[in-house]
Amino acid sequence: MMVRRLAGLLIAGCLWAASQPAAAEATLEGTMRALAAQPHRQAEFSEEKAIPELSAPLPSTGTLSWSAPSRLEKHTTWPAEERLLIEGDRLLLERPAQNLRQELSLQQSPDLRPFVEAIRATMAGDLATLQQYYSIDFKPEGEGWRMLLTPLSMRTRAALQLFDFRGKGADLLSVETRASDGTTRLRITPRP
């Protein structure tokens, strides 16, 4: 009797599992659409910069905010305040403790644009812009996705070898940047 009940339970469980929709495998186009569908996002971040000359990585924490179509702000709150704001064609860097305020035009600083667009175009779900600057290797990974961006320009590649993005659905969860001056790991915790 117990064996029949167990067998019945197993069969019912198998039938229930078979009736459930399979988790959709992440695709590049689907992920870009999901990212584009979120016009505003806020998150907290923790970052580690590994520089070859230092024995330990440099940590920092702060907040990130995104507003479509082109406003991205990274506000570092620890260990020293720093604000990086990219809006349209303008890039603003502020370090209050050093009384520093530097503003640049991306049109006048074309070497910066690929770095900016890696993050901004990803947040915007703008695949066409990413493809202008990067070779894209996208793959589903566990319940999420991974996207590797390799610069198309040899000039950019001299400074930056790779962006390694990981996420789940429309949430960007980490960005690793491998550059000639070291590796930066940014861990992102989206706010509800």
pLDDT at 1: 39
Distance in angstroms (rounded) separating the CA atoms of residues 108 and 111: 9
pLDDT at 24: 59
Question: Mean pLDDT in runs of 10 for the chain (192 residues)?
Answer: 34 32 72 96 97 92 96 98 97 97 94 94 96 98 96 95 96 96 96 90
Distance in angstroms (rounded) separating the CA atoms of residues 187 and 7: 46
35-190: CATH topology: outer membrane lipoprotein receptor (LolB), chain A (2.50.20)
Distance in angstroms (rounded) separating the CA atoms of residues 148 and 175: 10
Dihedral (CA of 118, 120, 124, 126) sign: negative
pLDDT at 21: 34
| 52-65-27 Cα angle (round to 5) | 80
| 61-63-33 Cα angle (round to 5) | 125
pLDDT at 52: 87
User: DSSP code of 44?
Assistant: E
Q: Can you read off the two tokens belonging to residue 155?
A: 């000039």
pLDDT at 13: 35
Residue among 15, 39, 182 nearest 123 (CA): 39
pLDDT at 116: 95
Contacts (Cβ under 8 Å, ≥6 apart) of 75? 62, 63, 64, 65, 81, 82, 83, 84
**Other Cβ atoms closer than 10 A to 79:** 10
Contacts (Cβ under 8 Å, ≥6 apart) of 63? 42, 43, 44, 45, 73, 74, 75, 77
